[in-house]
Amino acid sequence: MISDLFAEMEREGFEEVVVFHDRESRLKAVVAIHTTVKGSAIGGTRMWEYSSFHHALNDALSLARAMTFKCIGAGIEFGGGKGVIAGNPAKDKTKKLLRSYAEFIQSLNGKFVTGEDVGVTNEDVRYMKNYCDFLTGINYDPSSFTAYGVFHGMKASMKYLYGEESLEGMHVAIQGVGKVGMELARILVENGARVTVSDLNRERLETCKSFGAECVEPHQIYRIECDIFSPCALGGVIDERVARSLECRIVAGSANNQLKSDAAGKILARRGILYAPDFIVNAGGLITVANEYIYGKLDEERLEREIEGIGDRLIEVFRLSERLSDERGEVISTHQAAIEWALERMRSGRSDSSSISRKYY
């Protein structure tokens, strides 16, 4: 496994992978740092009951690399990182474990800045702040800002396809109504969209019904004929089979790593389904926590401008996909175009106007 890890790190350009275990608190954690070339690596910490250490490690690696692309897509000068804690948050998460993890992050001396993710709440981050300087998302819940960014990504996708960004009367199917999906559903309903949602949590579905969303069983959400399919749960939900069966014109959601494979992205492109690359469209929360980490208090007008810039970056990638397809004589998916777009910015050192950055110390 160690030789495989080194090979993976070399192939994908990882700087560091740190494994931490504390017997007293029963903490088992992995932090993957993809790059600190532009500044500290930033990324949330996820607590999940992984079936093996191998799965926990792979999750940290894939999400950290995706965070590098997300930082580029958000126009912020941080690198990508990710923390994972192995365990069931409902049973295994204790104050002692959270303190141990916070002290572990502190020992990295600013190479990695982290905050909430699946299984780690804003309340947890507030508690860990007592023991660690390198936490963000303390005073502001990034979920609503992520939803706001996805909403603007949907508007940009509509504008690219139809020349009109309004979502009024459009049918959006949302898979997963946690904090981000719920807020996105609310925003869409308020803006005149018809919204259908699915989730394993019945209470969340009842909440969605209360503000006008329709609800279906989880397995039915893929079969909904709609304008936009919005994955807002865990990643990897669009495999080749799903890509062939979706009945929509646009895919735009908040989940990370939505495509199971590059092949799934190509299938969507060949079917004329416009895919809004996840690491660009879901960057609203990242932009928010980066602002909070650097400036402390958010300037709402500046933050709104930066999040609305997600739409401009999407349009740029959509056009690049179209141009590359013409130049190469083959279908270049928007996912592939987004990767090339991000790599070019990584090589050239380009950044957008926000210029949010802090070197670790």
Active site positions, annotated: 82
Distance CA 244, CA 97 (A): 44
Task: Give me the residue label for tokens 């660690």.
Answer: 132
Q: Looking at this protein, which amino acid is placed at residue 166?
A: S
Beta strands in the chain (DSSP E): 16-22, 27-33, 41-42, 45-48, 76-77, 79-86, 112-113, 171-175, 194-198, 214-215, 228-231, 250-251, 274-275, 356-357
Count of beta carbons in the 10 Å neighbourhood of residue 339: 17
Distance CA 106, CA 351 (A): 28
Q: What does the block give as tokens for 288?
A: 């928010």
Which phi and psi (to 5°) does residue 26 adopt?
A: 65, 30
Q: Looking at this protein, which amino acid is placed at residue 134?
A: F
Treating both helix axes as pointing N-terminal to C-terminal, what angle do 53-74 and 334-348 enclose, rounded to 10 degrees? Answer: 70
Distance CA 80, CA 64 (A): 5
Measured at the CA of 115, the angle between CA 83 and CA 195, to 5 degrees, comes to 105
Rg (CA), the chain: 20
Listed residue (255, 122, 247) closest to 176, CA to CA:
255
Q: What does the block give as tokens for 17?
A: 């992978």
Distance CA 242, CA 245 (A): 5
Are 332 and 321 contacting, i.e. CB atoms less than 8 angstroms apart?
A: yes
Are 29 and 83 contacting, i.e. CB atoms less than 8 angstroms apart?
A: yes
Count of beta carbons in the 10 Å neighbourhood of residue 113: 27
Count of beta carbons in the 10 Å neighbourhood of residue 249: 18
